[in-house]
Structure 1
Amino acid sequence: MNKIDFWVMLLSDMLSIAVGIYIGRKLLSRLFAQREKDAEVRSAEIIKNAELTAENIKKDRILEAREKYLKLKAEFEEDTNRKKNILITNENKLKQREQQLQQQADQSKRKEAELDQQKAKLDQQQEAIGKRREEAERMRQQQVEALEKIANLTADQARDQLIDALKAEADSRASSYVKSIVEEAKLTATKEAKKVVIETIQRTATEHAIENCVSVFNIESDDIKGKVIGREGRNIRALEAATGVEIIVDDTPEAIIISGFDPVRREIARLSLHRLVQDGRIHPARIEEIVAKTRKNIEDEIVEIGERTVIDLGIHGLHPELIKMIGRMRFRSSYGQNLLQHSREVAKLCATMAAELGLNAKLAKRAGLLHDIGKVWPEEAELPHAVLGMELAKKYKEHPEVCNAIGAHHDEIEMTTLISPIVQVCDAVSGSRPGARREMMESYIRRLKELEELAMNFQGVTKCYAIQAGRELRVMVDAENVSDEKANTLSFDISQKIEKEMQYPGQIKITVIREMRSVAYAK
C-alpha cells in the first residue's frame, strides 16, 4: 500500500465518522424532542386528572360537610326540644307539687285546730280521771288494811303464798299431763305405727361428715425417702405434678404422708409410689409413665366396682356416668365409714322399709344407693352435696321421686314423696348404729362433757354421768329438793334442751335417779 492509498482510506474513515456523528446527533435531537413532547402531553393529562380529582374531592367534602351540618342541626334541634319538654314537665310537676303543699298546709291548719280542741277536752277528762283515781286508791287502801287485819298477813306475804301454791299446782298438773300423754302414746303406738314413722323421720338429726384427707404410705427404711425426693427435689415435684396431691416427707419414721382432698388422687399416688419403690427406678420420666398406667387401672377398677354394685343390688338402667360415680364411692369415707358400703346399706334399708309401708321398693333402693352421689362429683361445686346429687340425677334422667329423695335427705329442699323421709331415716340409721362411724377423740370427749354440763345446770341435780358412749345420760338428783313428779318433769326438760342445743347421732336416753335414804343409829 502506497502513501496515497493510506491517506485516502484515512480520509474516508474520518468522513464516515463525521457523517455518523452528525446522523446520531440528529436522531438524538429528534428523540429528545419526541420525549419532551410526550412528557408535555402526559403532564397535561396528569394536571387535567388532578384537577378533576380535586374537583370531585371538593364536591365530596362539600357534601359531607353539608350532611354533617344538617345532622348536627337535627341533633341540636332534637336535644333542644327534649330539654324544652323536660322543662315543661318539671314546671308542671312543680305546679302540682305547690298545689299539693298548699292543700297539705290547709289540712294541717284544720288538724291543728281540731287537735287544740281535743287537747282541751283531754285535759278536762284527765283532771276528772285523776280525781277518780285518787278516790279509788283511797278506797283500795282502806280495803287492803281491812283484809290485812282480818288475815293477819301483809299484801306481799299473801301474794308470795298464792304464787307458790299456783306454781306447785302447775308443776303437778304439767307432770301428770306429760305422763298421761306418754302412756297414751305407748298404748296407741301399734295402731299409729306408719304415721309415727313418717312424722318422726322428718325430725331425725342428720350428721356432719369429717373427711379424711390424708393417706400414709409405709416404707421399709428411711433411705427410700431420699430416692423419692430425688436430686434437688425433682422426683417429688414430678410426682406431685402428675398426681395432683401433696407428698410430705418429714421425720415420721418409715412413712410418707400423701395429702389431698380427692381420695382417688391419693389412691393413685399411693399405688404409684408402691410400684416405683418396688421397681427401684425413680426419675421424672418413669414417674409420669407409672402414674399414667396407675390412673388407667384405677379408672377401669372404678367402672368395674360400680357395675358390680348395681348388679348385686338388682338396680338396672343407670346412666354410665352414675355407675362410674358409684365406683368412686369406694375410695371415699365419712367418719371412717366407707361411702360405698354406707350407700349399699342405706339402699337395702330403704327397700325393706318401703316394702313394709307398701311403697315402691325398687325406687326406694335406687334413691338409697344414689343419695350421697353428690359427694363424689370430681369438680368443685358450691352447692350442698344433697342438692348437687339431685341435679346430677335430673341430668341423667332419674325418676322425679328419686331426685326429690336425694335432694331432701338433709332437708335442703321440701319433701314431696314418702320415699324422701325413708331415705333420710335410713341414712341416719346407717350412720348412727354402733361401730358405723368414728369421731375424733377430742370432739367425742367434748360432746360428752357438754352433755354432762348441760344437765348440771338444772336445779336439784347433784351428779351427772354420760354412759354407753354418750347414748345414755344418768342424772342424780337431791331427794329432798326434787319430788317424784318433778323428776319426771326434769327428765323431759333435759331431753328438750339437748334437742335444741346439741347435735348428736341417733337418740340419747335420759334417766333421772331419785334415791331417798333414811339412816338411824341404835345405841
Structure 2
Amino acid sequence: MSFTMMLAFMMVLLAVGAVILYVIKGKIDQQRRDFLEEQRVAMDEAVKKAETLLREAKLEARSRLLEMKSTFDAETEETRAELKKEERRLSKKSEKLDKLEDQCAKREKSIEKNERDIAEKLESVIQKEKSYTQLLEETKKELEKVSGMTLEQAKELLLKTMEDEARHEGAKMVKKITTEVREKADKEAKKILSTAIQRYAGDYVAERTVSVVNLPGDEMKGRIIGREGRNIRALEAATGIDLIIDDTPEAVILSGFNPVRREVARISLEKLISDGRIHPARIEDVVARATEEVDLAIKEAGEQAAFDLGVHGIDPELIKVLGKLKFRTSYAQNVLQHSIEVAFLAGIIAAELGLDIKLAQRMGLLHDIGKAVDHEVDGAHAIIGAKLAKKYGESESVVNAIAAHHEDQMPESVYDFIVQSADALSGARPGARKESLENYVKRLEDLENIANSFDGVVNTYAIQAGREIRVITESEKITDESAILLSKDIARQIEENLTFPGQVKVVVIRETRAVEYTRK
C-alpha cells in the first residue's frame, strides 16, 4: 500500500473520530443540561416543602402555645384557690394562738399568785414544824420519865411486839393456806397414787451382790484351783471376777462389782463343773461361750421389758444396755424389775392425769438406764443415763425426765414429776429395799437429834422405818400457828443435813390438858 493511500485512510479515520467525539460531547452536554434541570426542579420542590413545613410548624407551635397558656391559667387558678384556703387556715390558727397566748398569760398570773400563797403557807408550816418538834421533844422526855425507858428501848420493845404479832399473823395465814391446799391436793394425790399402787403389784426379786455356785463335793475345790492355782487364775483373768474358795462347804463365792461379768463367771463355772474338764484352754473356751449366752440373755431381757410395756422404737444398743439392768441391784432391789415397776406406775399416774401413757412408760423404763454403766463411767447415774438416751436418739423430754428423776437437773415438765413419784413409790414400798441395821439405826437417831435440837420440843419419835417423825412439843411455848412453822423448819433442816430415799413426814404434836380433882 502506497503512502498516499495510507495517509488518506488515516485522514478518514481522523474524520470519523472527530464525528464520534462531537456526537459524544453533544450527548454529555445534553445529559448535563438534563441533570441541572432535574436539580433545579428538585430544589424548587424542596423549597416548597420547606415552606410548607415551616408554616405547619408555626401553626403547631401556636396551637401548643395556646394549649400551654390554657393549662397554666388553670393551674394558676387552682394554686390561687389553695393559697386562699391555706391563708384562711393560717388565719384561724393565728386566732387560736392569740387566744392561747391570752390563756397562758392568765395562767402565768395565777401560778405566780399560787407560788406566793405556797411560800407563805410553807413559812407557816416551817414555823409550826419547829413548834411541834419542840413539843415532841418535850413529850418524849416526859414519856421517858414516866415509862422509865429510853427511846431506843421503847423502839426495841415496839419492834419486838410487832414482830411477834407479824409472826403470829403469818403463821395463821400459813396454816389457813396449808389447810386449804391439803384439802384439795392431798385428796387428789392420794386418789391417784392409791389407784396406781392397787392396779400394779409387781414381783420383787432381790439379787445379791455376790453369786454362790454350789459344788457336788469339796474335792471339786481342788480341781477348780488347779496345779499351783493355774485354773483359778485363768478363770479370774478370763472373767474379771474374784473366786473366793473358803471353808464354806460345797460352795464357791464369786465376787465382783460388774454383775454381768459375775453372771458370766457363774455360768462358766457351772459348765466346767458339770463337764469335769477344767484346764486353762477349756476355761477360755467356756467363758467365751458363756459370754455369748449372757449377751443374748441381756438382749432378750431388754426386748422383753420393752415388749411387756408396749414401748417401741428404742435403739437396739440401748435395749442391750437396758437388759444389763437385769444383773444390777440397787439397795438389794433388781434394777430392771424396778424400772418395769416404775414404768407401770408412771403410766397409771399419766392415765389418771389424762397425759400420754406410752411416753410416761418410756420415761419410767429408761429412768435408771445409767446404772447399767455407772461402774464404768464417772458421774451420777441420772446424768449418765440422760447422755446415753440422747446418744441413742431418745427425745428431749425423755432425756430431761431421766436427768431430773433425782433432781440432778431441774424438772421441766409434769412428766418429770410423774417419773419422780413413780420411782419413789417403787423404792418406798415395804420390802422393796434393804439397808444395814447400823445405817438404819443411825438414820433414825439423826432424825430424832435434828428434831430435838429445836426449842420447845419435848421428845421425838421416828416411826415408819424413818419415813415419819412425830415431834412432841410444850404447849406453853409452842402455839398452834408456830407449830406449822416448826414443822417446816425441821423438814428444811433434815433436807439440808441428811440423805434419804423418798420423803420424810414431819408431824408436830401440841397438846393441852386440863386436870382437876374433886373434893369432898
- Give the TM interval when normalised to the shorter protein: 0.5 to 0.7
Shift of 1:328: 1.5
Shift of 1:298: 1.6
TM-score (norm 2): 0.63
Match of 1:259 among 255, 271, 288: 255
Cα offsets for 1:1-25 (capped at 9, x unmatched): xxxxxxxxxxxxxxxxxxxxxxxxx
Match of 2:430 among 431, 434, 438: 434
Aligned to 1:316: 312
**1:514 aligns to 2:478 (yes or no):** no
User: Per the alignment, in what secondary structure is the counterpart of residue 266 of structure 1?
Assistant: helix
Q: Is the 8 A contact 2:211 2:254 kept in 1?
A: yes
Aligned to 1:395: 391
**1:468 aligns to 2:461 (yes or no):** no
Aligned to 2:221: 225
Segments of structure 1 that go 5 or more residues without pairing to the other structure are: 1-138, 198-210
Q: Is the 8 A contact 1:212 1:334 kept in 2?
A: no
Shift of 1:141: 10
Shift of 1:330: 0.9
Measured in 2, the distance between the counterparts of 1:264 and 1:239 equals 15
Measured in 2, the distance between the counterparts of 1:190 and 1:427 equals 19
Q: Is the 8 A contact 2:344 2:361 kept in 1?
A: yes
Aligned to 1:102: none
Match of 1:271 among 262, 267, 273: 267
Measured in 2, the distance between the counterparts of 1:442 and 1:395 equals 40
Aligned to 2:282: 286
Cα offsets for 1:57-109 (capped at 9, x unmatched): xxxxxxxxxxxxxxxxxxxxxxxxxxxxxxxxxxxxxxxxxxxxxxxxxxxxx
Measured in 1, the distance between the counterparts of 2:374 and 2:486 equals 49
Match of 1:237 among 227, 233, 237: 233
Aligned to 2:339: 343
**1:444 aligns to 2:440 (yes or no):** yes
Distance 1:374 1:486, change over 3 A: closer
**1:422 aligns to 2:418 (yes or no):** yes
Kindly provide the amino acid, as one letter, of the partner of residue 318 in structure 1.
Answer: I
Aligned to 1:353: 349
346-355 or 507-516, larger mean C-alpha shift: 507-516
Q: Is the 8 A contact 2:490 2:506 kept in 1?
A: no
Shift of 1:450: 0.5
Cα offsets for 1:303-351 (capped at 9, x unmatched): 2222222222112232222222222211111111111111111212222
Shift of 1:465: 0.9
Measured in 2, the distance between the counterparts of 1:484 and 1:311 equals 54
Aligned to 2:488: 492
User: Per the alignment, in what secondary structure is the counterpart of residue 420 of structure 1?
Assistant: helix
**Number of matched pairs:** 372
Measured in 2, the distance between the counterparts of 1:341 and 1:457 equals 40
Aligned to 1:328: 324
Q: Is the 8 A contact 1:495 1:510 kept in 2?
A: no
Measured in 1, the distance between the counterparts of 2:159 and 2:517 equals 36
Segments of structure 2 that go 5 or more residues without pairing to the other structure are: 1-134, 194-206
Match of 2:297 among 301, 315, 323: 301
Measured in 2, the distance between the counterparts of 1:422 and 1:407 equals 13
Q: Is the 8 A contact 1:487 1:514 kept in 2?
A: no
Distance 1:468 1:187, change over 3 A: closer
**1:385 aligns to 2:381 (yes or no):** yes
Kindly provide the amino acid, as one letter, of the partner of residue 319 in structure 2.
Answer: I
Shift of 1:449: 0.6
Measured in 1, the distance between the counterparts of 2:509 and 2:186 equals 27
Measured in 2, the distance between the counterparts of 1:160 and 1:269 equals 75
Q: Is the 8 A contact 1:405 1:415 kept in 2?
A: yes
Measured in 2, the distance between the counterparts of 1:472 and 1:313 equals 34
Kindly provide the amino acid, as one letter, of the partner of residue 398 in structure 1.
Answer: E
Shift of 1:418: 3.9
Aligned to 2:7: none
User: Per the alignment, in what secondary structure is the counterpart of residue 516 of structure 1?
Assistant: coil
Aligned to 2:170: 174
User: Per the alignment, in what secondary structure is the counterpart of residue 317 of structure 2?
Assistant: helix
Kindly provide the amino acid, as one letter, of the partner of residue 380 in structure 1.
Answer: E
User: Per the alignment, in what secondary structure is the counterpart of residue 313 of structure 2?
Assistant: coil
Shift of 1:286: 2.9
Measured in 1, the distance between the counterparts of 2:413 and 2:156 equals 55
Measured in 2, the distance between the counterparts of 1:326 and 1:448 equals 35
Shift of 1:408: 3.2
Distance 1:389 1:495, change over 3 A: closer
Q: Is the 8 A contact 1:494 1:510 kept in 2?
A: no
Aligned to 1:100: none
**1:185 aligns to 2:189 (yes or no):** no
Q: Which has the larger radius of gyration?
A: 2
Q: Is the 8 A contact 1:484 1:514 kept in 2?
A: no
Q: Is the 8 A contact 1:372 1:389 kept in 2?
A: yes
Shift of 1:516: 2.9
Measured in 2, the distance between the counterparts of 1:157 and 1:387 equals 56
Measured in 2, the distance between the counterparts of 1:387 and 1:465 equals 36
Kindly provide the amino acid, as one letter, of the partner of residue 271 in structure 2.
Answer: R
Measured in 2, the distance between the counterparts of 1:221 and 1:422 equals 52
Cα offsets for 1:368-394 (capped at 9, x unmatched): 212222222498323433333333333
Q: Is the 8 A contact 2:340 2:364 kept in 1?
A: yes
Q: Is the 8 A contact 1:405 1:423 kept in 2?
A: yes
TM-score (norm 1): 0.62
Distance 1:268 1:477, change over 3 A: same
Cα offsets for 1:172-210 (capped at 9, x unmatched): 2232121111123135549998xx99xxxxxxxxxxxxx
Kindly provide the amino acid, as one letter, of the partner of residue 515 in structure 2.
Answer: S
Distance 1:253 1:155, change over 3 A: farther
Q: Is the 8 A contact 1:476 1:512 kept in 2?
A: yes
Cα offsets for 1:103-147 (capped at 9, x unmatched): xxxxxxxxxxxxxxxxxxxxxxxxxxxxxxxxxxxx999876643
How large is the Cα RMSD of the aligned pairs? Answer: 3.5
Question: 1:53-202 residue pairs with structure 2 within 5 A?
Answer: 146-152=142-148, 162=158, 165-189=161-185
Which structure ranks higher in relative contact order (CA pairs < 8 Å, sequence separation ≥ 6)? 1
340-349 or 141-150, larger mean C-alpha shift: 141-150
**1:458 aligns to 2:423 (yes or no):** no
Distance 1:238 1:489, change over 3 A: same
Cα offsets for 1:14-41 (capped at 9, x unmatched): xxxxxxxxxxxxxxxxxxxxxxxxxxxx
Q: Percent identity?
A: 50
Kindly provide the amino acid, as one letter, of the partner of residue 149 in structure 1.
Answer: K
User: Per the alignment, in what secondary structure is the counterpart of residue 268 of structure 2?
Assistant: helix
Shift of 1:159: 6.3
Measured in 1, the distance between the counterparts of 2:390 and 2:507 equals 43
Shift of 1:492: 3.0
